[in-house]
A and B are shown apart, each in its own frame.
Chain A
Amino acid sequence: DGGITQSPKYLFRKEGQNVTLSCEQNLNHDAMYWYRQDPGQGLRLIYYSQIVNDFQKGDIAEGYSVSREKKESFPLTVTSAQKNPTAFYLCATSGSLGSYNEQFFGPGTRLTVL
């Protein structure tokens, strides 16, 4: 099946720990994105990547890091520097960065800090 997979679906973290959220796609899309969703809020962009080995900060990058070593994969690390990491994290892809293509979303990972 073509699509975007995110794992795990639920993730629990103790304060002070780093955690990595996985995002894999087999749509052959160039661009990938990470968004954060909080209750009653829209989505806010954390990081995005247009091509392999290149990525840019979004609106709320502090406390997060990413890598793009393969076209298919764009993992997000939530570091201990992120003060309020409990949220729903969504990965998205699009065919290219600068076109009018819509973005396609994965099923999300819910991160809870204990």
Chain B
Amino acid sequence: GDSVTQMEGPVTLSEEAFLTINCTYTATGYPSLFWYVQYPGEGLQLLLKATKADDKGSNKGFEATYRKETTSFHLEKGSVQVSDSAVYFCALRGNSGGSNYKLTFGKGTLLTVNP
């Protein structure tokens, strides 16, 4: 079945540091890939997405490129801010067989940015 593996946290950075959160996936066919962000006590917000190989999703300074050859969708940001402190989830939505109705999530990575 589909699965998502993302780097375990917690990740602690200083403000303006470079961020990478690794995400790799296993899926048949050509899934869509997503990064969601969850602030404390809230629901998930879509951060960015990519629906086909080599697509780059970007939003609020965050970027991720859909790499089919390495089955990866790593999240990056060049300069993090304190307000980026949250839990980040990588997810995929399959498009083959019966898997195209749900999101499969990684376990989440807690990011803390210190001033």
Contacts and interface: CB of A to CB of B under 8 A. Distances in A.
Contact of B105 (A40, A42, A50, A106): A42
Interface residues of B, number: 25
B102 A33 contact: yes
Contact of A48 (B49, B93, B102): B102
Interface of B: 4, 32, 34, 36, 41-46, 49, 51, 89, 91, 93, 95, 100-108
Contacts of A50: 101
Contacts of A45: 102-103
A108 B71 CA distance: 31
Count class of interface residues, chain A? 20 to 34
Contact of B103 (A6, A103, A107): A103
B43 A100 contact: no
B102 A58 contact: yes
8 contacts: A43-B103, A45-B103, A90-B43, A98-B101, A100-B95, A103-B46, A105-B44, A105-B45
